[in-house]
Amino acid sequence: MAIAGVALLGAGLLGGTLIPREATRKSDHAPPAVAAVPEHRLTRFDLLTMTPDELAKIDIAAMNIACADGLPGFEGVDPKAVLATIDGWAARVKQETDRHIYKFHQNPSEYENSEAFFRMMMLVTVLQLECGVQYDQDKVLRPDFTDSRSVFIHGLTGGAKSGTCISMPVLNVAVGRRLGYPLKLVTTIAHVYAKWESATESFNIECTSRGLLTPPDDHFREWPFKITDAEVEFGNYLKPLSPSQELALFFVTRGHALYDLGRLSEAQEAYSTAHRLDPTCRLNLGFLAEAVGKEMAKNRPPTVQRPRSLPPEAWIPQRPPQPGGPQPRIPPSPVPTPPTPGPPR
């Protein structure tokens, strides 16, 4: 794997102008009410009326923000201001990349003989050094979905400008796509990362490290958990996500927040929506079953014993918590197994 430090840029970077984004184009089949809505006003319900082709034309940051609406930590957030901040950061990345590109042309071997690698190094350097984006160290050993600022992109653009492995890859992809970079989101067990994928070049991007880290696929088969081929297939891991699958991931994140807040009916709706958007990721049905089971247990009279045929815990392998902050929950096994004895979740 290749690592590049964030020390390439020094202090005193000059300000830049916004990069105008190409106007969103809608299909002729898009509902008129949705087509007329600016991206910063889109709701998650608007997004669910769109076709996959229409979703592909929507800013990933706008999609992410729409799925955070109504959660704790989103109070007072102005989506238009968040998107404007990301536009401005993309402008800074472009300005500094253009200013330093001669370094790549003078000595390509220092940058993996890849202009794409150099461009991503500049992107993470500007975001980390100048924009102040950082990992939320308080969430390393205390995962918490209940504060949307930790797991959605708006937490990276204001306040502490900190996030986790669920939000930081989204920011990298959002900034890169504004510059025309072919970036995708990818998932592995309990982790999200990014991938540069063009017709001529492909490499992974670990978005939570200091500097640029580009691990191979085998790394994400072992970290943060070792996964089997069956788990890769079951969770649709290690594959670039389509726009519909990206939206599904954001609904799953919303579902986790609602689950941890005890809003179980809403969590079920979010998980069900995620499964509809991305049926290839079968673990979403496990999350749904877990939420249904917990709500049933919560509402069951004390005199009625809980059924033992398939408790929700059976869907979730018992794994120790890992450093890295809020992460997608551990997926269900392809074949449910009895729960490991222990305290309830």
Mean pLDDT within 22-44: 59
CA distance 299 to 294: 9
Between the CA atoms of 145, 146, 149 and 153, what dihedral angle is there, to the nearest 10 degrees?
A: 50
| Residue of 116, 253, 109 lying closest to 179 (CA atoms) | 116
Max Cα separation, the chain?
76
**Residue 74: φ, ψ to 5°:** -105, 0
Q: What is the 3-state secondary structure (H, E, C) of 105-130?
A: HHCHHHHCCCHHHHHHHHHHHHHHHH
- CB-based contact 249:242 (threshold 8 Å): no
Residue 63: pLDDT band (50, 70, 90) is very high
Q: Are strands 202-205 and 162-163 parallel, antiparallel or unpaired?
A: unpaired
Q: Would you give the DSSP letter of residue 206?
A: B
Give the whole-number percent of the chain exceeding pLDDT 70.
77
pTM value? 0.80
Residue 335: pLDDT band (50, 70, 90) is very low
| Residue of 181, 59, 210, 177 lying closest to 118 (CA atoms) | 181
Select the CATH number that applies to the domain covering 2-19+73-235 from these four: 3.90.1150, 1.20.120, 3.40.50, 3.10.620. 3.10.620
- CB-based contact 230:40 (threshold 8 Å): no
In this prediction, residue 345 carries a pLDDT of 42
Residue 298: pLDDT band (50, 70, 90) is confident
Q: Would you give the DSSP letter of residue 16?
A: -
CA distance 225 to 246: 22
Which of 35 and 66 is assigned the larger pLDDT? 66
Distances (CA, A) of 175 to 34, 60, 96, 117, 181: 24, 10, 14, 15, 9
In this prediction, residue 140 carries a pLDDT of 75
In this prediction, residue 124 carries a pLDDT of 97
CB count in 10 Å sphere of residue 138:
12
- CB-based contact 330:189 (threshold 8 Å): yes
Distances (CA, A) of 56 to 118, 175, 177, 246: 26, 16, 12, 10
Mean pLDDT within 252-258: 97
pLDDT at 7 over 60: no
Mean pLDDT within 202-214: 96
Distances (CA, A) of 333 to 135, 186, 224: 30, 20, 17
pLDDT at 205 over 80: yes
CA distance 337 to 297: 20
Highest mean pLDDT among 114-123, 140-149, 328-337: 114-123
Burial per residue of 183-222, b for 16 or more beta-carbon CB atoms within 10 angstroms, e otherwise: bbbbbbbbbbbbbbbeeeeebbbbbbbebbbbbebeebbe
As a whole number of Å, the end-to-end CA separation of the chain is 36
- CB-based contact 225:258 (threshold 8 Å): no
